[in-house]
Amino acid sequence: MSEREDKILHVHGTPNERQKRFFASRARYTAYGGARGGGKSWALRRKLVGLCLHYPQIRCLLVRRTYAELKNNHVQPLLEEYAGVLEYSEKDKLLRFPNGSYIALGYCASTRDTLRYQGQEYDVIAIDEATQLSEYQFSIFKACLRGTSQAPRRMYLTCNPGGIGHAWVKRLFVDRAYRSDEDPLDYLFIPAQVYDNPILMQADPGYVRQLETLPPKLKDAWLYGRWDVFEGQFFPEFSYEAHVCPPARIPGELQFFVALDYGFDMLAALLMGCDEAGNLYVLRELCQPNLTLRQAAEAVSKLCADKHVAYAVASPDLWNRRQDSGKSGFELMQSVYGMPPMCAADNRRVPGWRVLREYLSPTKTGAKLWISSECTELIRSLPALLCDTVRPEDASDEPHSITHAPEALRYAVMSRTHYTANEDLPDRNFRFASTRKDLLF
């Protein structure tokens, strides 16, 4: 109940058990969702209104990708449910309460939109459909969560599998794989399915039947809230059960090579092995940012130190001469002691992804590509790749943070394959891409 000018407002609705957990959460970052129909939007609105009524002068921000979505999904229901209590300003994009609290209404369809929030301060931030935002956009909003009042500093997110933000939401809230500057105690995930929402199931049983008849990938994501399979996933063939193994299961008798994708923002290097049947194994990974070319070469040499590594396949742009030194990246890296002989990758994207898809596809004899369970970045990134919206046979380059390790793996498989644009299927002779195409081992 809310009171204003001797009027009592009755707000109907009883929270289900998952919604009660959401309301009770005191974590700094709480994510609620997974499947569709779990009552996320209703709970998010109730939580914000409850905080605003309880804490005078509290400053809240409610964000969705576009303002039109925000207005239809939240503003209209709030004005209907809390008529006489809320004052809505279309010009200022604010919902005001009698005690001085307010909910600012925001949208974030692009990086440019995000920059408008730099330097702003909010006590509570709610992001609806968080997987539609990038990790960079999320980081900007995290920086806005500050202030000097006694009100709590919290962020509430609703989410479904898929979208540009799938990888970071899954990492933080589902996999709970934290970086050194992230405190696990700050993060809480409350999974929800339509079966947790008895009010919706009773009011619209047809909606549940509709979810139950979806194609397998959509059904897994939208009905069951599975985070490893979702619509728009570039490599649905990838399976943790089929492609990941403990290091002890990787054979010892292999031909070793390394594949790397270098950028100053991230070096991704994979120590690879190939057996006599042409099966590939990813033994180790190195994913490290802010390395110069020489530092990157030193790191790669350490990655390969105890193996006889035949070659290192890398992006062809390393063979371009740099304006600052007059030398190429290849020359700088190859001059480092212990760096394996380098060759330029066949970096054609669509053929490369096609070959990698073949390695991931199931066969009667089992997987053709195995990844050590210690290669956590590759295991995280590979299934999170999205299809490019313009060219579906290519992987999207957004979010960029998950592209490095898969790019290195693409170079790796192409280095084992003789493939031309006119061939339907590649063979797996022990060839590797180079300026000398006749090299074999």
pLDDT of residue 431: 38
Both tokens of 114, joined, read 């995000």
CATH of 240-415, one of 3.40.50.2000, 3.30.420.280, 3.30.450.70, 3.40.50.300: 3.30.420.280
CATH of 2-223, one of 3.40.50.300, 3.30.9.10, 2.40.50.140, 3.30.565.10: 3.40.50.300
340 φ/ψ angles, rounded to the nearest 5 degrees: -60, 160
10-residue averages of pLDDT along the chain (441 residues) = 51 82 96 84 92 94 93 91 88 93 92 87 96 91 89 94 90 92 96 78 75 76 80 88 94 95 95 94 96 96 95 94 82 94 95 94 86 95 91 91 96 78 39 36 34
pLDDT of residue 9: 59
Answer yes or no: are the C-beta atoms of 93 and 67 closer than 8 Å: yes
pLDDT of residue 185: 96
Tell me the sheet residues that pair with 427: 418
CA–CA distance, 99 with 80 (Å, rounded to integer): 20
pLDDT of residue 425: 38
> Hey, where are the domains in the chain?
2-223, 240-415
Task: Convert 204-237 to b/e letters by CB count within 10 Å (16 or more is b).
Answer: eeeebeebeeeeebbbbbbbbbbbbbbbbbbbbb
Half-sphere exposure of 156 (CA within 13 A, CB side): 26
pLDDT of residue 32: 94
Cα 284 to Cα 146, 212, 218, 273, 288: the distances in Å are 40, 40, 33, 10, 13
> Which residue type, as a one-letter code, is found at position 437?
K
DSSP reduced 3-state for 358: helix
CA–CA distance, 18 with 198 (Å, rounded to integer): 11
CA–CA distance, 43 with 209 (Å, rounded to integer): 23
Q: Is the peptide bond before 399 cis (omega within 30 degrees of 0)?
A: yes
pLDDT of residue 8: 59
DSSP class of residue 194 equals G
> pTM here?
0.74
147 φ/ψ angles, rounded to the nearest 5 degrees: 160, 175
Task: Give the list of residues 6+ apart from residue 242 with CB closer than 8 angstroms, or none.
Answer: 362, 366, 367
